[in-house]
Amino acid sequence: MDWHLARALLEWQVELGVTEALGADPVDRFASVAEARAEREAAREAPPETRRDAPSAAAPATPVAPPPDDAAVAIDAAERAARAAQDLPSLHEALSVFPHCGLKRGARNCVFADGNPQARVMIVGEGPGADEDRIGRPFVGRAGQLLDVMFGAIRLSRESPDPGQALYITNTVPWRPPANREPTKDELAMLRPFLLRHIELADPEILVVVGNVACDALLGRRGILKLRGKWAEVAGRPAIPMMHPAYLLRSPEAKREAWADLLELQARLRALP
């Protein structure tokens, strides 16, 4: 069993409601505490030269961990790699091999994009979850299913071959953050050059910025409940912030506002030539 399978099984058990990890055989915790106490007392009474914690002259020096990548260096490397990509496949490759982001070490897949790259509408979400990390596509879990239903209501689909009725979907970060935490400011800044280049190469007519993290990365602001439905400009094109489907799953009463935002998007698309 590799690390990824073990983690997936553990997450599955947590989702089922497991709260305690029990072994097949009972463990006497009182005996374990007593044994540990006895070992500490024996170590204190032992002569200095026999103690396990006594330093050894022949012991090799502890290797020093390399310092973390400097943020400015990482951002500069990202900008150079993003500029060098001349199309979406080469950008995907550059992002997959980018060595400076620590999120990559704990993720299974680089979740790049899904849908039709020629779509008029490009959705930018927050980051991959467990399902997205396992499958390698954005928005495939419960929130993704709701997103498909929402945009299907205005006749837009990631499956459509027609650019006028298609969606193209990506995220602010391509790797799943540990325990589904939000990406940090440094991580967003580091990966922003790839995201902006992604938007430039896909060249959509309209951006849909989904959730607080995406608003932070592209608009430099948070507060999705105040930002939603209000047009902004990102990378020289109109962008509309919307609530994340995961928020709508937790707060279904907000679906009325989400529907109003979808109608606003539909009206803007109809007004474009």
Q: What sign does the dihedral 194-200-201-205 (CA atoms) show?
A: positive
Per-residue confidence at 25, pLDDT binned at 50, 70, 90? low
**Among candidate residues 121, 148, 153, the one with its CA nearest the CA of residue 137:** 148
* List of E strands, 140-199: 167-171
Tell me the C-alpha distance between 243 and 241, whole Å. Answer: 7
pLDDT at 48: 56
> Across the chain, how many H-helices and E-strands are there?
11, 6
Backbone angles phi, psi at 3, to 5 degrees: -60, -45
Q: Is the pLDDT of residue 44 over 60?
A: yes
- Note the pLDDT tens digit of each residue in 182-231: 999 999 999 999 999 999 999 999 999 999 999 999 999 999 999 999 99
Among 26-30, 59-63, 108-112, 188-192, the least confident range: 59-63
- Structure tokens that stand for 212 in this block: 């607080």
Tell me the C-alpha distance between 89 and 4, whole Å. Answer: 26
Neighbours of 130 (CB within 10 A): 17
pLDDT at 23: 64
Tell me the C-alpha distance between 77 and 59, whole Å. Answer: 39
Q: Is the pLDDT of residue 61 over 50?
A: no
- Note the pLDDT tens digit of each residue in 100-114: 999 999 899 999 999
Q: Is the pLDDT of residue 6 over 80?
A: no
